[in-house]
Structure 1
Amino acid sequence: MGGIFVQSKAITEVAPAPLRALWVAALALAVAAAQAIAPPAQAAPEDFSQLAEQVSPAVVNITTSATVAGRDGPGVVPEGSPFEDFFREFQDRNGPTPPRRSSALGSGFVISEDGFIVTNNHVIERADEITVEFFEGFELEAEVVGTDPNTDIALLKVEPDGPLESVRFGDSDTARVGEWVMAMGNPLGQGFSVSAGIVSARNRALSGTYDDYIQTDAAINRGNSGGPLFDMDGRVIGVNTAILSPDGGSIGIGFAMASNVVKGVIDQLREFGETRRGWLGVRIQDVTPDIAEGIDGLDEARGALVTDIPEGPAREAGMETGDVILTFDGREIEDTRQLVRIVGNSPVGQTVRLTVLRDGKTRTLSITLGRRETAEGAVPAAQPEEDAPSEPREMEVLGLTVSALTDELRAELDLSDAARGLVVTDADPASEAYEKGLRAGDVIAEAGQEPVEMPADLRSRIEEARDAGRRSLLLLVRRGGEPRFLALSVDQAE
């Protein structure tokens, strides 16, 4: 605006009075318009004292204790060690090590006036005594209502004499990178402590199936686990769970499980004492750009590619291996992580509509979800046995040497009688197939989303892909029974 002002002043000094009036009016309109479209300035809070005072009564310190079994034998050196006799003699003189008590510290927060408390599962795991210390100084014994190791969330219950101060969950999906947040807890056993920072990133995944972490630079240390991460309105948008650190101390990279994940878990733990997640009954993998190139009708890398279908809801609904799941209950699916979270958050028994891409065309399937917790041991059903080829044949193609399955190969690779496909007996280290992970012992079950059992079948799929103008061929490969898709270029195939 300074440049505009200087320029307008120079003009008005040489212009007639009526024209100067017009220039002043135009300048005023320009300033007003610029202020109207400019984003509002986000000033840093003067301090966090009011927020800390508001929410502190609902934040708790958690102390747990457990009995650690003693040792009856030496146990401190490997069996057969040259020092084994020495330690055994020492043990005999001093007797067996008696059981001992160990303790751990963590944090949590109250979500209802009648005493429900949220914390991390790893804070209270294997504990036989849980003591909750409140901000006002009193303590109560807590019982475990339920836990969910998948999200590292636990729900506790205390029996207070009167209503407790509590906090509410906020909407973690509305948290924006750069917004101020405040963490509270019991770092390193120092008692109630506050730290502040910003949202550094969202939608972080660490190692769990249902991970959705908010990353923050607010100081989080050991003992903060299970404590709340507040937005500036005093709503909990995350549960402080983990840190990234070379030495165990805070370096400004902390992770809080997003509240929208936690809310669903807590509701189930509160109602059932356990989680009840929806289960589709498929094994899936992400669609990469080269895989998308090998799938008819898929113009970009999106969706979740079905690699296997055990007995369950999806098989009953007619889903097939090689289907690409594009939508679930009306929601577009970008990748496998998103699909797993959406399905897991859906009610058991709910009937949903899925759009899948198959043979270049979309289809709609109606599937009634099962329960994941009761289906963890599901395995693919065996297919009817067929006669093996009388004479095994081999072929070199795509940098691979492939052979039809024989009884000898089944025994050598420990494959079931139901296994079907071509066995990779060798892979050229200079080939694209080797670069993408194919090795001797892998079984190619499908090529171009069609079964292959003879080397000639694979050659035919390559020619079909070329004739259709595709640059790559999609293969379904099994290793140790685990399926995955990969795409190989057919441009250089012999």
Structure 2
Amino acid sequence: MKGRNLFGALLMAVLGAAIALFAYTRIADRPAVVVAKDSSRAEASEARAYLTALQTMPGQIDFTYAAEQTVHAVVHVRTKSVVQQPNNPIMEWFYGDRYRSRPREVAGYGSGVIISSDGYIITNNHVIEDAENIEVKLNDNRIFNAELIGRDPSTDIALLKIKAENLSFLEYGDSDKLKIGEWVLAVGNPFNLTSTVTAGIVSAKGRNLGILDNDYRIESFIQTDAALNMGNSGGALVDTKGLLVGITSAIYSPSGAYAGNSFAIPVSIVHKVVDDLRQYGEVQRALIGVNITDVTSEIAEQKKLSEVKGAMITSVHEGGSAADASLKKDDVIIRFNGIAV
């Protein structure tokens, strides 16, 4: 009796194992289905492996090439100047010469752009103005004393030279072809931080801010929203190809810190100024012999002009080219050599 029960149990175990093995082989051969939380599903037979590097799709803007080309051609400019403190005669009368003011050394800093492999560097005039010593620090941390080749207060451009060879440098682009809304990069040394890159778009062109204190000032700034701060002056504004289109110079702010508006001198002005400084040590200019002002809506209404554009002549210098050409006060210039004013 016991042997019969044992044989029956063994037979049931073998039969159960056979059924389980048959069911396993039938189910395991089918592809699994994975259900995600968003109710989408991916079948194992259709799954693919992907590399996780991000590829730039056509139409997307890649700043990495322009940044890589620019950071090695932008330098840190450091200056030292001596400032004479005003004397206080009352303190001197009571306490003598020990309260006589003494000259004070002042340090300044800004940025510069290398434009040739043999060490010519563009910066702003206001960066190096009145400096007794100018020092340049490259992106690889090498430091050189710089020679001032020339400067032009009317455009706020200065040209320096260091004794070095085989330097990375930027090539000129075409600022006249820049379009409103086009991407640009600003590279400089804000707050003594080296080679800082910011990005923005061209917000406007031909801005006149009236910030240059010179009778013959030339202001036609490129306005961008690329962040600039103290120390960015003299740095590079480049397009997405890494070509130099401007020299960063100023911000417009109620507090002195970046507030969304920054300005650069277009390379169309910079190129001519630098070439003259390099060749003559000063800028060669032909004077037309007029003073002008922008045509505003008030002027257009007062003079009954059909459009608010151009430049109005406010005075004509006797014996100048403008007088010889019969130009008169209140004449409005709308085109110059085929270019709209």
**Do these two structures clear the TM 0.5 threshold for a shared fold by scoring above it?**
yes
Q: For 1:60-75, what aligned pairs fall within 5 Å after superposition? A: 60-71=75-86, 73-74=87-88
Q: What is the CA distance between 1:317 and its match in structure 2?
A: 2.3
Which residue in the other structure is 1:391 paired with? none
Which residue in the other structure is 1:321 paired with? 328
In the alignment, structure 1 segments of 5+ residues that lack a partner are 1-39, 76-83, 339-494
Pairing partner for 2:131 from 119, 127, 131: 127
Which residue in the other structure is 1:92 paired with? 96
- Answer yes or no: is the 8 Å Cα contact 1:280–1:312 preserved in 2: no
For 2:145, the aligned partner's letter is E
Determine the C-alpha separation between the residues in 2 that align with 1:327 and 1:246. Answer: 33
For 2:68, the aligned partner's letter is E
For 1:224, the aligned partner's letter is N
Which residue in the other structure is 2:316 paired with? 309
Which residue in the other structure is 1:273 paired with? 281
Q: Secondary structure at the match of 2:72?
A: helix
Write the deviation string for residues 51-85 of structure 1: whole angstroms up to 9, x where unpaired: 322222211000000112245x316xxxxxxxx4x
Q: What is the CA distance between 1:200 and its match in structure 2?
A: 1.9
Determine the C-alpha separation between the residues in 2 that align with 1:109 and 1:59. Answer: 5
Which residue in the other structure is 1:217 paired with? 225
Which residue in the other structure is 2:60 paired with? 43
Pairing partner for 2:259 from 251, 254, 271: 251
- Answer yes or no: is the 8 Å Cα contact 2:316–2:323 preserved in 1: no
Q: What is the CA distance between 1:41 and its match in structure 2?
A: 7.6
Pairing partner for 1:163 from 149, 158, 166: 166
- Answer yes or no: is the 8 Å Cα contact 1:282–1:306 preserved in 2: yes
Which residue in the other structure is 1:289 paired with? 300
C-alpha change, 1:322 and 1:147, in structure 2 (3 Å) is: closer
Pairing partner for 1:203 from 184, 188, 206: 206
For 1:170, the aligned partner's letter is G
Q: What is the CA distance between 1:176 and its match in structure 2?
A: 1.6
Determine the C-alpha separation between the residues in 2 that align with 1:231 and 1:156. Answer: 24
Which residue in the other structure is 1:115 paired with? 119
Determine the C-alpha separation between the residues in 1 that align with 2:84 and 2:219. Answer: 33
Which residue in the other structure is 1:191 paired with? 194
Determine the C-alpha separation between the residues in 2 that align with 1:229 and 1:286. Answer: 26
C-alpha change, 1:231 and 1:299, in structure 2 (3 Å) is: closer
Give me the CA root mean square deviation. 2.6
Does residue 59 in structure 1 map to residue 66 in structure 2? Answer: no
Which residue in the other structure is 1:432 paired with? none
Write the deviation string for residues 133-152 of structure 1: whole angstroms up to 9, x where unpaired: 00111111111111111111
- Answer yes or no: is the 8 Å Cα contact 1:120–1:226 preserved in 2: yes
For 2:265, the aligned partner's letter is M
Number of equivalent positions: 277
Which residue in the other structure is 2:144 paired with? 140
- Answer yes or no: is the 8 Å Cα contact 2:250–2:264 preserved in 1: yes
C-alpha change, 1:89 and 1:308, in structure 2 (3 Å) is: closer
Determine the C-alpha separation between the residues in 1 that align with 2:58 and 2:338. Answer: 35
Q: What is the CA distance between 1:179 and its match in structure 2?
A: 1.9
C-alpha change, 1:97 and 1:119, in structure 2 (3 Å) is: same
Q: What is the CA distance between 1:300 and its match in structure 2?
A: 5.3
Q: What is the CA distance between 1:306 and its match in structure 2?
A: 4.3
Q: Secondary structure at the match of 1:181?
A: strand
Determine the C-alpha separation between the residues in 2 that align with 1:55 and 1:312. Answer: 47
Determine the C-alpha separation between the residues in 2 that align with 1:90 and 1:235. Answer: 62
- Answer yes or no: is the 8 Å Cα contact 1:70–1:96 preserved in 2: no
Write the deviation string for residues 326-382 of structure 1: whole angstroms up to 9, x where unpaired: 57764255xxxx4xxxxxxxxxxxxxxxxxxxxxxxxxxxxxxxxxxxxxxxxxxxx
Determine the C-alpha separation between the residues in 2 that align with 1:179 and 1:332. Answer: 22
Determine the C-alpha separation between the residues in 2 that align with 1:222 and 1:104. Answer: 10
Which residue in the other structure is 1:233 paired with? 241
Q: Secondary structure at the match of 1:279?
A: coil
Which structure would you say has the larger Rg? 2
By relative contact order (CA 8 Å, sep 6+), the higher-ranking structure is 2
C-alpha change, 1:89 and 1:181, in structure 2 (3 Å) is: same
For 2:174, the aligned partner's letter is D
For 2:263, the aligned partner's letter is F
Q: What is the CA distance between 1:302 and its match in structure 2?
A: 5.7
TM-score by length of 1: 0.52
C-alpha change, 1:95 and 1:252, in structure 2 (3 Å) is: same
Q: Identity, % of aligned pairs?
A: 39
Determine the C-alpha separation between the residues in 1 that align with 2:93 and 2:306. Answer: 73
Determine the C-alpha separation between the residues in 2 that align with 1:119 and 1:226. Answer: 4
Q: Secondary structure at the match of 1:312?
A: coil
- Answer yes or no: is the 8 Å Cα contact 2:188–2:196 preserved in 1: yes
For 2:225, the aligned partner's letter is D
Write the deviation string for residues 112-135 of structure 1: whole angstroms up to 9, x where unpaired: 111110000000000010000001
- Answer yes or no: is the 8 Å Cα contact 1:155–1:266 preserved in 2: yes
Determine the C-alpha separation between the residues in 2 that align with 1:323 and 1:93. Answer: 59
Determine the C-alpha separation between the residues in 2 that align with 1:299 and 1:101. Answer: 56
Q: What is the CA distance between 1:227 and its match in structure 2?
A: 0.3
Q: For 1:418-437, what aligned pairs fall within 5 Å after superposition? A: none
C-alpha change, 1:289 and 1:66, in structure 2 (3 Å) is: closer
- The ranges of structure 1 where at least 4 consecutive aligned residues each deviate by more than 6 angstroms after the TM superposition are none
